Amino acid sequence: MFLLDSPSFPFFCPVCNSVAAVEDTLWQGTHLLADCICKTCRFEFYHTYPTGHGLHFPLAFAKNQPQTFPSPHAGSWFYQPLFDAYYQQKSNTVPVEKKVRRNFDKVIILNCLDYLYGHVLLRLLNAQAHLEATPEIGLIVILPKSMAWLLPDGIAEAWLLDIGFVQLKDRVENLDAFVKNELVRFEKVYISYTFTHPDWNKIDIARFAKVKPFDLEHFSEKPQPITFIWREDRFWLGVVDEFLWKAAFKLKVLRHAKFYFIFRQRQKFLRTAQLIQKKMPEVQFFIAGLGKTGQFPAWLHDRRSENPDAETETAWCELYTKSHLVIGIHGSNMILPTALAAGFIELLPRYRLDNFADDIASAFHDRRHFFLSRVLDMFSSPKLVALHACQILGGFTFLNLNFSEKYKTYQPDSGLSEVYRKFYD
Ligand SMILES: [Zn+2]
């Protein structure tokens, strides 16, 4: 974190590379911007502060004419919405709700705003490290209201914006004045670096999701539920269907054609469940996630929702935490399911290879987690996915025994003979 009023780093002019003077700070929404003027060439520009993705992809842009200086490493997904918001004056004014739980003189601001759900969630997970590292400094979280159910205990304040994710591509018109009005209450204001991938080995997901992850010691207990993770904007497709999907995208008819791809995805999930059921009839099947298109047979319990509220989200988390496996297409839809379920099978599209593991939240403390975690190519057939699922469900108990502490003990009379007898049960 760094002090807002006197950060320990300079901002450089993108034109002449001299150190610039910071005239003001602009709470743009997703981004925190320094309002700069070059001390040498008088170029006036905004520069991102090093928070969130701005930490990896610094960028600047001219105030008075369209002239941009994004980091060469940044993707357009990061900088284009910001440039468009400024030069095309795209903005929204939204209600902001202030929830004060504890009073502090010194505070850290954790701004979780982003137009992508997964980015918001990952930003929020930084809260735990701040609460643990500096309990004497109050933590203020800025968050879309729809995700307030994930706020952990112990924070000082939450500033909740009643805003949709897509709107966060634009500037939040009233945020700057709101934040500046609030900050006068504090003696010192720090800004969280807001790491984009906080350390999963240290995150206690129960502090956010309010449910504990699956306890692997109960893995052999039946009926071993499997939950499919549903979304309607990215699909599990075969080679031909993906070709059609790309064509529909290029021709800008995806909105009309998407029902075909949803139908094909439904078929694949259903076929996978049928194949697993054939081998393991006791397994229970669920489907959860965003969207409600199409129907499933009654034995595949449908928990999907078009507009999930906090209650639905919590119920989904409870379902994941009881699931032996979650199966779904790669994306931020997999973060909470993989954090809470025992194991997962993720289908990775080749165009998402760069994002491999971005969305996997399992804590890999030992080799058992590698057994339980499978990332398969998106073109994998339901037959292959079912094969992996059955192997995980059927094989883990033996693997778990092999990897148990008893098999790592060299002391006499460590109780191994008792374990040995259990194989005849
Ligand atoms: Zn300059």
Q: Give pLDDT tens digits for 70-79.
A: 988 888 999 9
pLDDT digits (tens, 9 = 90+) for 271-318: 999 999 999 999 999 999 999 999 999 999 999 999 999 999 999 999
Tokens read off for 344: 């997962």
pTM above 0.85, yes or no: yes
Rounded to the nearest angstrom, the distance between the alpha carbon of 24 and the centre of ligand 1 is: 17
Identify whether 412 is preceded by a cis peptide bond (ω within 30 of 0).
Answer: no
Rounded to the nearest angstrom, the distance between the alpha carbon of 54 and the centre of ligand 1 is: 21
Task: Label residues 352-389 b or e (16+ Cβ within 10 Å = b).
Answer: beeeeebbbbbbeeeebeebbbbeeebbbebebbbbbb
Judged by average pLDDT, the poorest of 20-34, 71-85, 92-106, 392-406 is: 392-406
Rounded to the nearest angstrom, the distance between the alpha carbon of 46 and the centre of ligand 1 is: 13
Phi/psi at 328 (5° precision): -170, 170
Rounded to the nearest angstrom, the distance between the alpha carbon of 195 and the centre of ligand 1 is: 30
The label of the residue with tokens 């931020």 reads 332
Q: What separation in angstroms does the CA of 307 have from each of 162, 253, 310, 311, 336?
A: 15, 24, 10, 11, 17
Rounded to the nearest angstrom, the distance between the alpha carbon of 85 and the centre of ligand 1 is: 24
pLDDT digits (tens, 9 = 90+) for 30-63: 999 999 999 999 999 999 999 999 999 999 999 9
Tokens read off for 123: 């930003």
Strand partners, 106: 188
What per-residue confidence (pLDDT) applies to 177? 97
Q: How many helices (H) and strands (E) in the chain?
A: 12, 19
For residues 6-17, give the mean pLDDT.
91
Rounded to the nearest angstrom, the distance between the alpha carbon of 276 and the centre of ligand 1 is: 64
pLDDT digits (tens, 9 = 90+) for 208-223: 999 999 998 888 888 8
Rounded to the nearest angstrom, the distance between the alpha carbon of 20 and the centre of ligand 1 is: 7
The answer to whether 227 and 323 have CB atoms below 8 angstroms apart is: yes
Rounded to the nearest angstrom, the distance between the alpha carbon of 189 and the centre of ligand 1 is: 29
What per-residue confidence (pLDDT) applies to 272? 98
User: Residue 371 in 3-state DSSP?
Assistant: helix
Rounded to the nearest angstrom, the distance between the alpha carbon of 87 and the centre of ligand 1 is: 21
Rounded to the nearest angstrom, the distance between the alpha carbon of 50 and the centre of ligand 1 is: 20
What per-residue confidence (pLDDT) applies to 121? 96
Is residue 425 over pLDDT 60?
Answer: no
Rounded to the nearest angstrom, the distance between the alpha carbon of 47 and the centre of ligand 1 is: 13
Rounded to the nearest angstrom, the distance between the alpha carbon of 76 and the centre of ligand 1 is: 25
Confidence of residue 6 (pLDDT cuts 50, 70, 90): confident
What per-residue confidence (pLDDT) applies to 420? 63
Is residue 326 over pLDDT 80?
Answer: yes
Confidence of residue 81 (pLDDT cuts 50, 70, 90): very high
Rounded to the nearest angstrom, the distance between the alpha carbon of 251 and the centre of ligand 1 is: 44
Rounded to the nearest angstrom, the distance between the alpha carbon of 60 and the centre of ligand 1 is: 12
